[in-house]
């Protein structure tokens, strides 16, 4: 949901930051130290493995979703659209998958900023879940493209009012409202303040869970995408292994869910949620709130 000016979507919710893959995993205090690094293994191509898994299990929506996410992060938007299309065929009742498909189709389009297939995907997502944030964002984009700038801003403000403090898309959404308001000379500052004041009181359940430091993110940017992927995969594997022996670490489970989501491994995020609740039944409300914020359903 980055500012869509110049190129609508810009990666949106599916690409929360340039280092979305690494950001969910790098630097967490419970990931282990350098002494815990796994033994050397034969290098593999993560993308080829995702492709193999999806083709081997064509009815597995999660496998196609992971592949779509990987393609999107690589800027291969047409292929991301194809993968998300296969995911929606396998799981047609997932609003998240339809919204992801719509965003990929928007990004893949070279001429039409809102191709018909994308509009249909967003409408399908909204029909399944009227609160799906990415679909709501792009439905407002559609209004803006139709010259209904005031209507688009109103819809974005409504989405901002429903956005929990600290949600991954909060800053980009606010920036979009400000940019479109400035271009079309529509006053938005007071309305943004009002929307922020109306937001849910509770901060996202993931807010207190530590993430990567600026130094660690800077170090990660020096790596090639495939190396970032390998680094993140290794760290997530170590965290998952540690939680098997320390299942009472609720923050660790939330970080694991966030990391799996950042890697596009939604089914494993769901499994982590179930394991976390089983190990910590009294923490079920917090875990479920974190899962909802992260989009784990």
Q: Which residue has the higher pLDDT, 109 or 286?
A: 109
Q: Is the pLDDT of residue 22 over 70?
A: no
* Domain boundaries of the chain, sorted by first residue: 12-23+45-197, 214-294
- How far is it, in rounded angstroms, from Cα 177 to Cα 189? 9
Question: Both tokens of residue 141?
Answer: 């984009």
Helix-helix angle 225-245:46-56, to 10 degrees: 70
The pTM for the full model equals 0.60
pLDDT at 9 over 50: no
Identify the burial level of 211 via C-beta atoms within 10 angstroms of its C-beta, where 0-12 means exposed, 13-18 middle and 19 or more buried: middle
Architecture of domain 214-294: Alpha Horseshoe (1.25)
Contact 240, 257 (CB under 8 A): no
Greater model confidence, 219 or 38 = 219
| Neighbour tally for 262: CB within 10 Å | 25
pLDDT for the residue 201: 62
Between 239 and 79, name the one with better pLDDT.
Answer: 79
- The tens digit of pLDDT for each residue in 85-132 reads 999 999 999 998 999 999 999 999 989 999 999 999 999 999 999 989
Pair 32, 237: CB distance under 8 Å? no
CB 145, CB 40: distance < 8 Å: no
Question: Does residue 221 surpass a pLDDT of 60?
Answer: no
Rounded CA separation 94/100 (Å): 10
The length of the chain is 297
Per-residue pLDDT, 121:
97
Task: Please identify, in words, the CATH class of the domain defined by 12-23+45-197.
Answer: mainly alpha
pLDDT above 60 (res 53): yes
């Amino acid at each position: 949901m980055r500012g869509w000016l110049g190129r609508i979507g810009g990666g949106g919710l599916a690409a929360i930051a340039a280092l979305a893959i690494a950001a969910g995993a790098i630097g967490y205090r419970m990931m282990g130290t350098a002494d815990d690094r796994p033994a050397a293994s034969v290098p593999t191509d993560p993308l080829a493995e995702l492709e193999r898994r999806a083709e081997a299990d064509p009815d597995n929506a999660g496998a196609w979703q992971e592949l779509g996410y990987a393609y999107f992060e690589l800027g291969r938007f047409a292929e991301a659209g194809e993968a998300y299309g296969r995911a929606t065929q396998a799981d047609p009742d997932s609003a998240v998958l339809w919204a992801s498909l719509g965003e990929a189709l928007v990004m893949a389009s070279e001429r039409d900023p809102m191709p018909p297939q994308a509009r249909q995907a967003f409408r399908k997502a909204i029909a399944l879940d009227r609160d799906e944030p990415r679909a709501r964002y792009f439905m407002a984009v559609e209004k803006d493209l139709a010259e209904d700038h005031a209507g688009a801003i109103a819809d974005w403000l409504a989405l901002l009012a429903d956005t929990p403090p600290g949600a991954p898309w909060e800053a980009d959404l606010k920036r979009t409202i400000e940019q479109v308001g400035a271009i079309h000379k529509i006053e938005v500052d007071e309305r943004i303040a009002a929307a922020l004041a109306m937001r849910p009181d509770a901060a996202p359940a993931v807010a207190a869970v530590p993430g990567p430091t600026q130094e660690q993110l800077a170090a990660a940017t020096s790596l090639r995408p495939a190396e970032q992927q390998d680094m993140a995969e290794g760290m997530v594997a170590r965290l998952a292994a540690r939680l098997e022996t320390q299942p009472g670490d609720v923050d660790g489970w939330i970080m694991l869910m966030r990391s799996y989501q950042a890697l596009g491994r939604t089914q494993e995020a769901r499994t982590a949620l179930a394991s976390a609740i089983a190990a910590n039944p009294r923490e079920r409300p917090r875990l479920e709130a974190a899962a909802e914020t992260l989009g784990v359903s």
